[in-house]
């Protein structure tokens, strides 16, 4: 279980893949990662709503809103056609089955907590989203790298990694197969596109 006082929050392997319009993946993935992780904002990570309220770093209202946003975003979490493909990315026991409204099923990473970013610049207030674990690392479903500075005790995440532009937020997550994961070097799962057309 994730605990905000002793989190190991380093590294990134993206939860929601973003391609920048090319089929190849690798250079585009690097650009997408860089975009998601620039402009870091202070953030608070929690394993549960109760923990958020008990630690009193943000108001109970912000805890409720952040948790609700995490659940909403989790509905569009990275999707995989097979459990093994999902577990190859997130680890054994870290994927759960889900059903689509029109029939069929897929696997998504397990929501392990949520993060609330302080988006104060430009009057943004706070923004919450879900956290997913990959190995010993945590990241958002949008692919935002979650960092923890042990010297200061502060946690941060890139602005777009917690609050992506509408074009990314509203793009449907496509179900990934083994071949799409391999073609992207293991990066991602959302199959969203960044910029022009839909991701593939």
The per-residue pLDDT for 135 is 77
> 77, 173 in Cβ contact below 8 A?
yes
| pTM listed for this prediction | 0.73
The whole domain housing 158 covers 4-193
CA atoms 14, 20, 23, 29: torsion sign: negative
Helix, strand or coil, per DSSP, at residue 199: coil
Q: Tell me whether residue 198 is in a domain.
A: no
What pLDDT digit, counting tens, does each position of 64-78 carry?
A: 999 999 999 998 899
Q: Tell me whether residue 200 is in a domain.
A: no
Q: Tell me whether residue 91 is in a domain.
A: yes
Q: Tell me whether residue 54 is in a domain.
A: yes
Q: Tell me whether residue 22 is in a domain.
A: yes
> 61, 108 in Cβ contact below 8 A?
no
The total number of structural domains that make up the chain: 1
Q: Tell me whether residue 143 is in a domain.
A: yes
Q: Tell me whether residue 87 is in a domain.
A: yes
Mean pLDDT by 10 residues, the chain (200 residues): 38 30 43 76 96 96 97 92 93 92 89 91 80 88 88 91 85 79 50 35
Q: Tell me whether residue 199 is in a domain.
A: no
């Amino acid at each position: 279980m994730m605990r905000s006082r002793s989190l190991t929050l380093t590294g990134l392997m993206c939860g929601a893949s973003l391609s920048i319009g090319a089929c190849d993946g690798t250079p585009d993935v690097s650009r997408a990662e860089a975009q998601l992780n620039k402009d870091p904002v202070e953030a608070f990570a929690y394993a549960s709503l109760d923990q958020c309220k008990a630690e009193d770093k943000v108001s109970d209202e912000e805890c409720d809103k952040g948790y609700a946003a995490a659940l909403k975003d989790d509905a569009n979490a990275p999707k995989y056609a097979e459990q093994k493909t999902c577990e190859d990315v997130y680890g054994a026991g870290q994927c759960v089955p889900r059903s689509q409204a029109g029939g069929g099923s897929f696997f998504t990473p397990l929501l392990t907590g949520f993060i609330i970013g302080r988006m104060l610049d430009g009057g943004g207030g706070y923004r919450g989203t879900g956290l997913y674990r990959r190995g010993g690392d945590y990241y958002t479903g949008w692919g935002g790298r979650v960092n923890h500075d042990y010297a200061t005790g502060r946690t941060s995440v890139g602005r777009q990694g917690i609050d992506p532009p509408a074009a990314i937020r509203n793009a449907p997550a496509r179900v990934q197969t083994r071949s799409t994961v391999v073609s992207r070097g293991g990066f991602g799962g959302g199959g969203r596109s960044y910029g022009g057309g839909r991701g593939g």
